[in-house]
Chains A and B, each alone.
Chain A
Amino acid sequence: MSAETMLAFETDCHIFSGCGFDAPGLHNFVFEPLFTIGGFEFNKPMLLALLSTVVVVWFFWAAFGRAKVVPGKLQMIGEAGYDFVRRGLVYDALGKKEGDKYVPFMVSLFFFVWIMNLWSIIPVAQFPVTGIIAFPAGLAALVYILWVFLTFKKHGFVGAFKNFTGYDKSLGWVLPLLMVIELLSNLIIRPFTHAVRLFANMFAGHLLIVMFTVASWYLLNGIGFAYAGASFLMTILMTAFELFIQAIQAYIFVLLACNYVQGALAEHH
């Protein structure tokens, strides 16, 4: 990849030179394929997604591959991360007895999502994989399937239907209306918001960072230097902020997954 193809904007275009600002937008989320195999276009987000897999598996392999009773440094960090998800999210929502089955899924989910988010501020990568809707949508779909499956398994067909619709006789005449709203909310809107919440946060975060980065460069002309400084400062602040948001969003994504599973397993919805 040449330096020219790495950059998402014109390098010789500055303010006061008769060149318009090329604002970042949707086109920053569309990538030319790195290579094509039989019509399958392999692009940068895919590469980063696979690299996320490599990073997560490599880390946990190094930490837990030869786990010892007296842990080394890496194992200690791994245990802290593992316990954070296991106790802080899964046991908290589902309890130890019920929750143990779902720990591996939730731990994988958290670290995979987090690393995919993290690429946003890693030099050269500089793109949040979850900023492409397909990645969070796939994961949200997995959680959705798990949730629907567990609801049917636990409550049977009628019970599951009541669970989905929030069936409650005491509501009287409002019940039919409520059932329609609940059904729509649970079965259609919820998985959508689950995916979009993560996607939109990463999308917006990336857009902001690109925006200030491109602006810092674009403003480097004459009096524009002062504005460029402010813009560059914002780039740094937004990068720090993103680091925080990435972890928060990964946390929320898994927290919601745990809550959905908990809702499926609960006796009375």
Chain B
Amino acid sequence: MNALNLAAEVPENPLIPPIPELVIGLIAFFIVFGFLAKKLLPNINKVLDERRAQIEGRIEDAEATQAEAQQVLADYRAQLADARHEAARLRQEAQEQGATLIAEMRAEGQRQREEIIAAGHAQIAADRKAAAQSLRQDVGKLATDLAGKLVGESLEDHARQSRTIDRFLDELEAKAESDATKAEAGR
């Protein structure tokens, strides 16, 4: 028979616990319990709480970031809408200004044209006046010469001469003006 085969001995009732094993078993358990309850499980609980806090913190951060993004998007959209309105307004204004400018330029053109015409008229009047002046002198000289020849005496006396001429010319002028007035009225 084998050394460990103790069948020769009367086997104890397997349901009656031997005291030494009971004591050793409890000691072994309490060592496990001591380590786990005093050190290791509080350790891991702390870490698990920390982890939960961090995860919750990150979720909060993410929510905050998302809210911020939403806000920025809303702002951006509002700005975009403002910008569109502004652009429309500027376009409108530009059109109005353009129209005004064209009208002003047209008016300016009209004015310049009139000025040019007026200047032309004045020039013509001046020329006419100069021509009339020149004509008067010529006519005066011719008339004097002619009168001299007709009267037979030279009208040396300048004062008399000039008086006569002036009188003649005034008559002539008055006649011409009445003619011009007639012509003007007739037109």
Contact = CB atoms under 8 A, between A and B. Distances in A.
Main secondary structure of the interface of B (DSSP, over half): helix
A interface, over-half SS: helix
20 contacts: A7-B4, A8-B4, A27-B11, A45-B21, A50-B24, A57-B31, A57-B32, A61-B40, A63-B44, A69-B47, A82-B44, A104-B33, A108-B37, A133-B16, A134-B19, A135-B21, A137-B22, A138-B29, A196-B15, A199-B15
Interface of B: 2-7, 9, 11-12, 14-22, 24-26, 28-29, 31-33, 35-37, 40-41, 43-44, 46-48, 50-51, 54
Given A52-B28, A60-B35, A69 B54 contact: yes
B21 A134 contact: yes
Contacts of A41: 20
Nearest to B55: A69
Contacts of B50: 69
B145 to A, nearest CB: 134
A205 B20 CA distance: 24
A203 interface: yes
Given A27-B5, A57-B35, A142 B28 contact: no
B4 A31 contact: yes
Contacts, number: 138
A31 B7 CA distance: 11
Given A30-B9, A67-B46, A137-B22, 6 more contacts: A7-B2, A10-B2, A25-B7, A104-B36, A112-B32, A134-B20
A168 to B, nearest CB: 33
Interface string A85-118: 0000000000000000001110111011000000
A82 B46 CA distance: 14
A163 B33 CA distance: 29
